[in-house]
Every structure is written in structure tokens, then in C-alpha cells.
Structure 1
Amino acid sequence: MTKFLAVTLFILSITAFSQNRIKILDAESQKPISYAKLTFKDKHYYKNTEENGEITLEKSEEIFEIQSFGYEDFKVQQNQPTYLLQPKFTNIDEVRIPKPKFSKTFTIGKVSKENSFYGVHNTIWMVAKELRNDISEAPLFIESIKFYSRLFSKKSATIKINIYYNENGIPGDLYKSVIVTCVKKQKITEFIFPKPFTLPKEGIIVGFEWILNQENSYQKMMMINGEKKETIGHDPMIGSLTENPKNIILGNLSQEGWIFVNGSNNSSQITKNLGIELKLTN
């Protein structure tokens, strides 16, 4: 018993030494920042904090930058147990913003329960789709977004939905970003925005960015190059449509930021269209 205990303590001490637990906080409120994104020097992946703003890093992982929507990007100069992100404030010239009338309802896009899904694969961490405003010349407002989701292992999992300005079919500046929780028993996920916001005349790009943390991760066996290997996956998976892919964009993350390419003509990686439905009001 004593020998077993000593071996256990030795293993635990090695694990603790090879890992580093840190936390990300709001510099003003000192509250944890959930799902902040960390990129690393000489690594081709990123990780996200848990809901409590904490994350465990391997000894070989040296943070390059910390990002979170609504905060200034933080370039790391030296390692420390706690990082404080400054809230981002934008000076906006006073303009007259129209208010919704809520007298009519419209939808853009389509969602259906099918058996094809997008998930984290190789270096593809975001899949997105262009949604154009072909309905009305009058101002329209986005009320909610709906999509089909499936969870492989977890009872619930989170994913980040990024809404970008549309610059000729490729994501421009980030317009909105929200964290959405998908539930295993609920196949169609609908997120209602706290406050409707304007749909630009040129439309938007809606992207699903996977949150790579322990809360969403699971292990599974897969056939890779003819060999059965254990791999790490992340819930949720996002449903697609059995129709030709149109207006699909793929996102790869580099240390310079997201690199987007049009994936509609890339038959080697894209075989289905992304299922998204927006609910609009006038």
C-alpha cells in the first residue's frame, strides 16, 4: 500500500510539474473571462479557457496572444499565473439608428435534420457561410439564429458564433460574437439575441468557431491511414444540408489572425452546405 501510494504521488508530481494552470480576468471587474482564446508560439492550434476563465497548459506551450470579443488583444511578453484583459471601448460618432417595428417577420437560410455534420478537422477551426439580404431595401433586424447540432459525447457543449461584415463574400470586421450552448436532447438549437441588431444591406458572414477546451473535448478511436488511433474531438457538431455547397468559407488560424478562403469549390473538403436560418424583423 505504501509503495502504491508513493508511485501515485510520484506520477502526480510529474504531471503537475509538466503543466501550468493560469486564469484570465477582466482588468476592471476582476471577473473571469470565459472561453478566451489563447494562441501559442510555434504551434498550429489554439485553446480556450473554461467557463471559470482558467486553463491548464502543457510546459511546452508558450502563449503568444490572448483574445476575447470585447477586449483588447493581449500579446504575452512573460509567463504569469494571471492575465488581465482590458475592455475595448469604441468611440462611435452620433448617428440615428432606426428601431425595429416588429410588424413583419422574415427568414433567411434553411435548417433541416440530416446526417451530415461539420466538426473540428485538421487545421479547420471555423466554418462559415455568406447570408445575403435579398428580401427588402428597408432596414431589417436580426432577432435569432437557428442551426442543427449534434453532440457525440457531452450532454451540453458551447460553440462561438461570429458574425462578420460581408466584404465580397469573405469575412470583414467582426460585427457580433456570442457563445451558444447546444444540448444533446435538443437537435435544433436556436439563439435569441438579447437585442435585435441591423442586418447590413450587403448581408453578413456567419461563422462557427469551435471552443477547444476540456469542457467540450472527448476521446475516440478513429481509422487514420489504415491504423486505429485515439484522437481528441470537440463537441458540438454543426449540421449541413444535402445540397451543393454555396457561399461556404473556411477559417484557419495563424499568429497573424484568421485566414479565410472560399471553400465552395473545394470538393476535397466540402461536400455539404451549411444549415443556418436567421429570423428577421422590420
Structure 2
Amino acid sequence: MKKIITQLLIFASIALQSQINGKVVDGETKKPIPYCNIWIENKDIGTSSDENGIFKLETKEKNSILIFSAIGYKTTRKNWDANSSIIEMSPEEIILDEIVLDKTKKKNTILGKFKKSKINKFFGCGERPKIRARYFAFDKKINETPFLSEIQFYTMSDIKNAKFNVRLYEVDENGKPGNYLYDKNLIGYARKGNKLTTIDLSHLDILFPKKGFFISVEWFIIQENSYEYTYREEGSRKKMKAVAYDPSFGTIPSDADGNCWIFEKGKWNKILKNGDDDYSKKHRNKYTLLAIQLLLTN
């Protein structure tokens, strides 16, 4: 009898679960938008579109409001309608400053140096899309090497070539990530294991903004990034299986507030100071920042 009741409860749960299927396209060209991150507003439920702009999302929520975020497009908020599964996003116009190239001998400046041997805490996304952003402030010395040349992360991955995106944001009037500094995807690939992963910007001629800017990493909830792992719940010997998405990104502790943010559930939230119960002793009562090394040139 208990077995019958359990099965009925499982079937009832499945019945309540529904799947949202759709495709994200450019509102002007009607071309698919790949790697668009999608959230149910104010819920820890989300996914990503694949390379063809197609997405699927399991949810128990009825009358859901979906948030669509893709670089180069205005963030879109839409009441889900199963009869209209094509989501059109409007391109966001980016006005870039005029660039004057310096033809003198190349100089380099490095910001955010870190030692990979000191990193013992990583940010991952679990099974939900996320964007984490770290602020870099402008300094007068940057005038000598004002161009972004290279970004380096310390990544950890259980799979080969886990795909992620880098977004560059200007600072808005409230000090959080605002308009795009660069309006295209900067796709990175994290090799299996713990590795230094580099994004080359040298060909883009992007100037370091006078108000500073944010470097962010964006996870993709796509099949090729998924891996299965086992774990035990506290007080239980039974092994459980779960799915997560790579890669993870190394972090560093900081005594100062680094003005870091996380975009999840369809909105930006400030990352707060850790408590004294953080699992990493180095990070207790400190701020945790993405380990990002930025190379500048002239």
C-alpha cells in the first residue's frame, strides 16, 4: 500500500511539472540568439538557449514571467504564453568612444595579480544560470596603458572545454553593472582540471573607462557543459546523484568591498561580506572576489 501511495505521489508531482519550450531570436533579423540566459523572475529556476536559440525549462510555476538576457540585446521581460513560443529580443545600441592608437613602444600594466597556489575556493553555478561581476577601478596610471589586452581566470572543470562567456559592463549611476562596454560574446573554453584560462582582447581596441568597469563571467546551462556527480546527504549513507554545469572559477579573499555583483533570478544583487562560518578559513569575515588578472597595454 505504501508503495502504491508513493507511486501516486510521484505521478502527481510529474503532472504538476510542466515544460516551457521556445526559441529566442533577433527582433530585427529573426536569426536565432545562442546562449541566451533565461530565468523565471524572482525564482531560482533557469536555463540557457542552445546554439540554435532553442531552450527548454522545467517548472511548476503557472503564469510565469521570464527574463531573457543576451549580450548585445536589451534584457527582455515577458509573460510566458505557450501559444507564442518565439521570443524576440531588441538589439541594444552601443556607442563606442573614438579611439586614437598609440604607435610608440608597447607598455604593459597588470591589474589583479593572483597566485593560483593560494586559491582554495571556487564559484560555480550548480544547475542554474548565473553572471558574476567584479569591478575594476580607474587609476591615473592607466592613462599610459589604457587598452584592455587580456583577461585571465583560474578555472576548474570536470569536462573538456567547458564553454562560458565574458561580459564587460560600464558602471551605472547606482554603482552596479550597467550598459555593455562591448556588445558581443567573448566565449571562453575551460580545459579539464585546474587551469589558467585566457581571453584575448588585444584585437578589439577596448579602452578602460574613466569610471571603471565590470568584468563578469556567465555560465551556460547547456548539455555540453553538464556533468553528473554523487553526494551523501548529512546523516545518510545513501549516495545521491545530481547534475551541475562547468566550469567553476577561482576566487580570492579581500578585506575591502570589491563592489561585486551577481545576476540571478533575473536581477542584479550585491555580493555581501562572508560570515565567520564560511567553509574556507581564508574567506571568513571577508569579501570573496573572482580571481581575475587583467593585462593592459598602450
Change (3 A) 1:63 1:144: same
Structure-1 residue corresponding to 2:198 = 190
Cα displacement string for residues 78-106 of structure 1 (whole angstroms, at most 9, x for unaligned residues) = 2323222222225x4x9644334462122
Q: Does the 8 A contact of 1:32 with 1:52 survive in 2?
A: yes
Distance 1:169 1:160, change over 3 A: farther
Q: Which runs of 4+ in 1 moved over 6 A?
A: none
Answer whether contact 1:147 1:275 (CA < 8 A) is retained: yes
- Residue 88 of structure 1: aligned partner: 92
Whether 1:230 aligns to 2:241 is yes
Give the Cα separation in 2 of the matches to 1:124 and 1:20. 16
Return the offset for 1:178: 2.9
Are residue 74 (structure 1) and residue 76 (structure 2) matched? yes
Structure 1's 33 and 252: CA in aligned 2 closer, same or farther, altered over 3 A?
closer
Match of 1:171 in 2: 176
Q: Tell me, which stretches of 5 or more residues in structure 1 are unaligned?
A: 1-13
The structure with the largest strand share of the pair is 1
Which residue is equivalent to 1:60?
Answer: 60
Aligned partners of 2:193 and 2:208: how far apart in 1?
Answer: 31
Counterpart amino acid of residue 56 in structure 1: K
The DSSP-based 3-state class of the residue aligned with 2:138 is coil
Q: Given the alignment, which residue of 126, 150, 160 partners 2:156?
A: 150
Partner of 1:208: 217
TM-score by length of 1: 0.76
Provide the residue aligned with 1:199 in structure 2: 208
Amino acid at match of 1:108: L
Question: Is the aligned partner of 1:274 residue 2:283?
Answer: no
Please give the root-mean-square deviation of Cα atoms over the aligned residues, in Å: 3.5
Secondary structure of the corresponding residue to residue 31 of structure 2: coil
Shift of residue 275, structure 1, vs aligned partner: 1.8
Distance 2:172 2:41 in 1: 30
Q: 1:59 to 1:89 in 2, by over 3 A?
A: same
* TM-score in terms of structure 2 length: 0.73
- From 258, 265, 272, the equivalent of 2:268 is 258
Residues 163 and 188 of structure 2 are in contact (CA less than 8 Å); yes or no, is this contact kept in structure 1?
yes
In the alignment, structure 1 residue 129 sits paired with structure 2 residue 134:
yes
Equivalences, count: 263
Aligned to 1:8: none
Q: Which moved more, 1:58-67 or 1:24-33?
A: 58-67
Deviation at 1:265, TM superposition (A): 5.0
* Inter-partner Cα distance in structure 1 for 2:76 and 2:289: 35
Match of 1:104 in 2: 107
Query: Is 1:35 paired with 2:35?
Result: yes
Alpha-carbon shift at residue 225 of structure 1 (Å): 3.6
